[in-house]
Chains A and B, each alone.
Chain A
Amino acid sequence: MKVEVYRRLMAAQMSRRKMLKGAAAAGVAAAGAAGGLGSFAGPAFAQGNVRTNILRIPGVGVGSPTDADWQKVGALCLGPTKINTGEGEFAGVELTFLGLNNQNLHNFLFRGFLKPWEAYTGAKINWIDLAQADYNARLQQSIATGTVDFDVIEMGAPFEGDVCGKGLASIMPDWVKQQIDMNDYVGYLKAPVGTWEGKTYRISIDGDCHNFNYRTDYFKDSKLAAAWTAEGHQGPWKVPTTWQKVQEVTKFLKGKKIGGFDANGYLDPLKGWGGFGFYFLGSRATAYAKHPDDPAWLFDPESMKPRVNNPAWVRAIQDVLDVLDAQPPDQINADPGTTGFQQFLAGTGSMLSWWGDIGSNAKTSDTSVVGDSIGFSILPGSDDVYNAKSGKWDQLPSGPSYAPNMAYIGWGVYVMARVDSDSKKQKAAWSAAAHLGGKDISLWCAAYPSGFQPYRNSHFDIPEWVGAGYDEAFIADYLASQADSYNHPNAAIEPRIPGIFQYYSVAEDELAKIYAGQYTAQDGADRIAAAWDKITDQIGRKSQIALYKASLGLS
């Protein structure tokens, strides 16, 4: 869980009484499990206890966890390690771990979690801490100059193309898959994510996706409802579930008032954000561009020909242009951070695509004015979806087409191939990684400040969270908004090809010109496509095709 989310949650909803109530409930649940499931094998029973016990460290509402707490959690979660590894088995082994120091979490947590592991196995870990801003450059330089000086790395899935695609990562042994219970991952984190050419490389420790946040008070407002009908719009005044309706609602709201203030519809971030801004156009485009029969939506997998200038993407860009004048003032200078934290949370705008954590902030942030009037769903769909193979727009018999944008895919832990020559070191590296990506430890990370979001099906067990002290209504809403996106069958998975952020970055530059009125949607999209083609040629078209196909799970 992100730190700020945790703090807000605690400030807003936690009380000692609730915590004790939750703890008691958990105790009852645990007792029930002990009695009712007594005939099950030991590990299952033990796991239940572990999960209950770690969720009490340090206890929800009693302050932020410390290094001592992380070590306690690490020690309690050593069970799976002990099954596969003998005590002192890695004595004399030294591993180097490269990770982030964001918000004093990530590597800081990992140090605490792995200290008991080091004590048990006898291995020693050396740490390389990097700031987020330095991460990409450091990784790219290591790869390009052949100076990979680390054995284990914390890495986002978008970089898999750069690392796994170049054979720099170690293939995950089967015992690790069993130890971390990979089947528990939410749908979209399963293969092909984390795999290249059928081989598995990634231990997921995080999940990411864009979902749709909306203001319930807007769609309950009787005056707006009356105006909607009076203006002859089709259907009732309600939360839009397709982009066509989002556009209609956004245009309708222009010039309207709600609670005495200017009403605004969907918020588009029009300013770049170091490549991350492209995800937000992606969230508008996936419903048009991601056909259920085709895993590809950004490039043609046979030629790497960009699809960013096909009718689906151009339509998404045109949608943005069509509602430019309905956006709040100075929107041209609003990046995704502004739209999320300074606009939506502050009461500007009624609809927004963002990562899952913005929704929970809206509910609990001190600066939020929309806490009691927010709802969540998966991203809107479209009445028709573009079929890149036939070049036509299809209307699905099942109704609107939905394609949640799995933006960034989340953090994972990877072992580098350089350990493969030493079997003892290789096992040690995978053991350390598996400990960090373990099923129980991941629940603690999802529930406490860690920098990571839920990403396993077992994370969506509401009673466990309630048992830890969370308010049931809130946490159910918070989790459901993500689970529906994660498990969607037509989720748009990000291509994990080398240099993916180069494509996004150059697209942001061209989009800025489109939004500033210098090009039409089609002209601008053609320029993006030309720039993407140039990047593909520079990186190597043949290899990009092969890696793109591999990332999509195509042979």
Chain B
Amino acid sequence: MMTPAQSEGDRLHTVLSDHMSPRRILAGRALVWSAAFVLFATLVVQALHDFEYLSFGFETWRPVLYAYVLWAISMGVAQVLLRGERGKRALFVLPAVLFVVSIVVFPLLFGLYISFTDWNLSSLTGRKFNGLDNFRQMLSDPFYWNALKNMVYYVLAISVEYAIAFGLALLLNAQIRARKFFRVVFLLPLMLSPVAVSWMVGKSMMEIRFGPLANVARFLGWETPSFFGSPEIARLSIMVMDAWTFIPFMMIMLLAGLQALPKEVLEAAKVDGCKPWQSFWQVIFPLMLPVSITAIVIRIIFKLKLADIIINVTAGGPGGATDSVTSFIFREYRDRSNVGYGTLLAMVYLILIIIFVTTLLNVVKRWMRPTN
């Protein structure tokens, strides 16, 4: 048993002996190296077979997966054999690390490789490495740039959504009648699938002949209402439907922020003679900035994935006016089986999103810090 002095520096105060016999270490090393060899050999054989350098091999890559699982288990066992108690501690993290590697890192790397290939599922020759051809094609693809331009409009629309969501949150934070009822009602659109919104609102309520919104528009003097007929109005209609679905999300975040505001500060403002408008601008809004920015950033991330409503209602039209990057990639993938190019577009979009969100977070960092 270890004495307290021996365990100095060991915050977990390990009680088991970590004495490793040479035989045990040897067994551990043999296990991990043999499993690694099996994995490596399976991988190499299958790769050579796949590239037709070897006649023998497996029909699918599944054996490589099995070899990976075997190697992962061996790694776990070897940790205990080689490092004793510290190895057991590593077992709390190792499976999660290997799992993340296999379902996130590996697919991402594989996706990166796919994006540099010419891979049309209908092609008889299958996948071919084509370097930067897909990237060059993207640079001259008017549909992609058009979709990116539309995304700028869609993201800018969040500022209006934010203002509305803030207004609603203030309303629901006030002492109004049936406050709980309205909180639930305002959340309902968020509970709906965007596909349901597409059909119920876009294809039914906004239908130009019998849709109730079209009838209201006629009543208000718009003789031939058309919510998706011209590029600008179609884009606006998509923004409105998307906003209707997601404003409750921002609203609920802002409402939670409002309810967490220190009451003393608000009361102090009132005692000092602040008018409601002053109280909002000078006290509430600055205090709410961290929550607001969090809500906006998350909303931007949601917005960048906008696709379902567009696919269902306008299919990107008229003339590409409502196309989003995701809906364009969807067509490239689903309708055209253009896996290589579609993956590159998705990868580039991912990088753009990471850059955009990172920059945004850096820019707004100083407002995110809670004020003392």
Contacts and interface: CB of A to CB of B under 8 A. Distances in A.
Contacts of A274: 315, 335
B319 A513 contact: yes
Q: Which 3 A-B pairs have the closest CB atoms?
A: A516-B319, A499-B122, A505-B335
Interface stretch (A103-111, A302-310, A534-542): A534-542
Contact of B120 (A166, A346, A539): A539
B120 A538 contact: yes
B320 A137 contact: no
B120 A499 contact: yes
Contacts of A538: 118, 120, 123, 338
B42 interface: no
Contacts of A539: 120, 122-124
Contacts of B331: 505, 509
Interface of B: 60, 118-126, 143, 207-209, 224, 226, 228-229, 231, 234, 314-321, 331, 334-339
A137 B320 CA distance: 24
Given A333-B314, A539-B122, A502 B335 contact: yes
Most buried by B among A272, A333, A515, A543: A333
Contacts of B208: 329-330
Given A137-B334, A513-B320, A515-B318, A166 B143 contact: no
A173 interface: no
A423 interface: no
Given A513-B320, A516-B321, A502 B228 contact: no
Nearest to B335: A505
A275 interface: yes
B314 A509 contact: no
A273 B311 CA distance: 10
Given A329-B224, A330-B229, A335 B315 contact: yes
A333 B234 contact: yes
Contacts of B119: 144
Interface string A337-352: 0000010001010000
A540 B124 contact: yes
Given A508-B315, A515-B318, A539-B122, 8 more contacts: A136-B337, A144-B121, A161-B122, A271-B317, A272-B316, A333-B317, A535-B120, A538-B338
A506 interface: yes
A512 interface: yes
Contacts of A273: 315
Interface in A262-286: 271-275
A141 B339 CA distance: 10
B142 to A, nearest CB: 9
B319 A502 contact: no
A535 B121 CA distance: 11
Contact of B318 (A144, A346, A512): A512
Contacts of A137: 334, 337
A505 B120 CA distance: 14
Contact of A512 (B317, B336, B337): B317
Contacts of B123: 144, 498-499, 538-540
Contacts of A508: 315
A143 interface: yes
A101 interface: no
A516 B124 contact: no
Interface in A295-354: 329-330, 332-333, 335, 342, 346, 348
26 contacts: A137-B337, A143-B121, A144-B119, A144-B121, A161-B122, A271-B318, A274-B315, A274-B335, A329-B229, A330-B224, A330-B226, A330-B228, A332-B317, A332-B318, A333-B318, A342-B207, A498-B122, A498-B123, A502-B335, A505-B335, A513-B319, A515-B318, A516-B231, A538-B120, A539-B124, A540-B123
A498 B124 contact: yes
A128 B226 CA distance: 43
A92 interface: no
Nearest to B208: A330
